[in-house]
Structure 1
Amino acid sequence: MVFIITNLAPTASLLSSSSAVHKSASKIIAYQLNNLFSSSNIKRTFSTCRVQSFSPTNVGNTKVNAICIFRNDSPTEEVNKVTVYHQFQLNTKGISTLETYLLDSNSLFVNGYHEPAPVPTIPSVMTTPNMQAKPFDFNVTFIITNLALTANLQDSTSSLHKSASKIIAYQLNKLFVTTNIKRTFSSCEVLAFSAAKLSGISVYAVCSFRIDSNPQEVTKVTVYRAFRDKTKSISTLGSYSLDSDSLYVNAYHESISSPTERPIVIMTQIPNEGTRHIDLNVTFTISNLTFTNDFQNFNSPSYKSTSSHIINLLNKLYRRSKIKKTFLNCKSISFRPGKQGSTDVETLCSFQTNPTVEKVDKVTAYNEFRDNTEKVTALGSYSLNSNSLFVNGYQELESTTTPAVSLPAVKEGDLTFELNFTIINRNFTEALNDPAATEYQSISANVSRMLTGLFKKSSLKNSYRIAKVTRLSRGSVKCTCTCYFNPNVANEPVTAEKVRTEFDAGTNGTNWLENFYQLHGDSLTVEAKEPISANKIEIPYWGIILIVLGVFLLLMLLFFLGLLIALCLKRKLHASYDVMQHPSGFYFLHQKLN
């Protein structure tokens, strides 16, 4: 299957099958194709679609080459290139849109089969039959700048993806139910996340309105402007910060105002800098609280008593934590049904930005919650799911040293390399000065495991032995690691430049370490150290000092001994060379003096 997307530029990253942009776009388009055929008339034997490649067209659009698979028991009269073509055509509004993507209506080919596009006057909104199925579904896309993209966030089966999707969908629903088009608003659903061009993540959502919506009242323009007006000109959605020029509704977009106006706004906000605050979404699951429908009725006694109790517990938690000086309060609690009768809790906790106190972010708020709930197990009388805590989509990766245990031990002759790089999506805390601290051990174990995964997938996989974090220091988080390689099994010489090249390739140009730790692109250094030697004796620094002092004392002793010998010799030989032996001289009698 081949078709052309007209609002997707064929960049070098998109065309490279190893890039994060290529992988993200492939997943999103495959997801849209799977949705399309899963809801079509030939869904019974449909299996899956996958994108094979992208290529540029002559006019700067992107050609997509995909394969869609149907089961072996598919009857040929039901599933063939013509029926697949027609189903694609029917569910893309005459080959015009694939969710957020705009299509070239004359570009579709299925196993070489193609039908010329109809004249432009035919596919109008009033006469296209399938437009009545979902006349008021709007594709809403925007960029969140304060949420980092990770592999777990892109994985639709992960708990992180599900949690972030629910939080953002909740914020979108809350937004539209307070607008002037709320009468026929139904719901919003987050479909996927992908990497944004510069920073943050792109969010792909669908917002639905009821069939009885007035087409003149609910349009892509009114939906766009309702979103804009309720997000402070596309700047904040709950606790999320938005790219003000990133909103598209069914491909409709309005350019932002001239940048020359911005300094005026910034200047008027400077005097109030000390009174500003940040809001963090805190979500977790209470396993011993059974969800009831009353929890979603804000006026019910059950909601009021339970929410008040949990808010009080959260306020007490943060007021006795290390970030109590900046904590304001927790509020706006909501409940959702969790797994096995449990209850998912979402709340908003606010912290003030005080210039005299270290800034609070999602990591520090997460760590304080964890440390004051016995590692996310108990909040007052409530039992918590230890793997359910998220703060603004952030969840601490479980530390594990399993890969390191399975690696061979370091041996004599192994080559040693010291790697230095900077993690920029983590803030340095005093706990990272202490190797015995839980936070230090967690980051150390994660980095060691990730480096092992990186080198085990590289051309150095046969010679790689183990990686150890030796130091974490201030400056975001500067990480110093030691990696060991066995030169006897290497296919080519293991050098510092080779180690650097493999690290760079495995982190997408020193940008992301396993899509979890974001790296400073210019921070990587690799230095070869002395190979491991069994006969090498490591002398501690205090031993070196003692040796230097001993040598100094020995030299001083030799100096004084030489001085003493010189004095003794001088005393012994004193006057031995005098010609006149008596101070008065001698008188020789046999000589006459006239």
Structure 2
Amino acid sequence: MACSSDLPRLANIEDTSVYAVCSFSNDSNPQEVNKVTVYHEFRDNTKDISTLGSYLLNSDSLYVNGYHEPASNLQTKPFEFNVTFVITNLAPTASLLSSNSALYKSASSVIAYQLNNLFTNSKINRTFSNCRVLSFSQAKVGSTSVYSICTFGNDSSPQEVNRVTVYHEFKNKTKDISVLGTYSLDDSSLYVNAETPIAVVTLQPNEGTKPIDLNVTFTIDNLAFTPALQNPNSPEYTSASSNVINSLNNLYKNSKIKETFTNCKLASFSSANQGKTKVETLCSFKNDPTIPGVDKVTAYNEFRDNTGKITALGEYSLNQNSLFVNGYQELESTPVIRDGDLSFELNFTIINRNFTEALNDPTSAEYQSISANITRMLETLYKNSSLKDSYRICKVTGLRIGSVKAICMCYFNPSAASEGVTAEQVKTEFATRTNSTHLLGNTYQLRSNSLAVEAKAPVSSGRTEIPYWGIILIVLGTLLILFLIFALCLLIALCLKKKYHGSYNTLQSAAGVYFPHQKYY
């Protein structure tokens, strides 16, 4: 019914002992209310005897009518936080919602990895254990709600790890709840052990002095990816991260934007194609109004110009097509498709995107965005394949309903290789570099049996090209005809002149007809 307390007593130098009496009505069932159940309810509602309101508790100090459970039993129980959020670019398909499907296992593994990486590199990483995805559910149209549990060791201080600090770390490490790895997040969807989002009250820094943070991502060709590169405590991680960050810092400190450069920090290592290592870093620059500003384009250009056109960073060899700065990548000149080039039509289905009406319109922003992404991913795929010498370009020619069915045309130069390119080779390279047609560019999840490649007729402009010697003959023939026309005109003019020269006579006939000339005065 109620609890009342006696005067507080001194427990030790810094702590206070509290003696309280809690009363329950007399109609309570003895099995329902006894010293053990009261003890357990107190324990379970104070986070294993750690906090009571604004007070911190000694976890080994609770007694109820003399009943006490040793603290050693409590120390083994970790802190668990339910972390829920919504991914806007992951469609809640039936396959994704089924815990037995390959898509569920793949997506849950990727998201768990991103969460583990987030908290491992956070300010509360001391006692962090792991995160695991428990389920997916449908949120808004085309969006998926993720239900996960993140665990921390029980030796965490309540001030160090609680739902507010977990919320803040998630928010800060996902750019204000906007991105988690390759996933886009609903910025109002984050919940941590709460029915409503936690109100975040922070003092915003002056916008004029707030640093500019740019995400710099690239792939190292001569650093083989191993699981140890995801363990911040491993020697491999320590050595590689130190080398990469030192090289990046030296690059920007000796660049044209060195006056605004602060530092670069490693965000993560992850696996790229063919066992190579993808590096994600965060580079910070001063936001000084007196100095020309730094944006993603200038940061990209300085990286490019100081790495030999994106070929080498310190001791590391780089993939030239792997550099992105806040999503920006310099566009290359579009290869020219020539007559005789071999063309192939590729069809595959993306299952983690929903088809929308906008994808029927090639001029819409949504269509152009997904088309550009697919084109870039196909280019990366084939430029790193055995067909790289023959590859010219791939283009998205259409998107159809059925999740999202992509139709693409890819062109290859038949004279660039000793053997001709076949549809089977194009299909094999695609399947090999998408993990058996499961994942394209670490972004689009594919239906494994949806890939079809069909050889089309070689490119032809429909006109016959005239050889250079033919053009010379035509020009000479034209000049000859013009010369003959000129000569003919000249000849006619001369004949006419000769015919009428001296034809005026006073006597016009042998009969001697005389035409008198009258003179007028």
Give the alignment's TM-score, normalised by structure 1: 0.35
* Structure possessing the higher radius of gyration over alpha carbons: 2
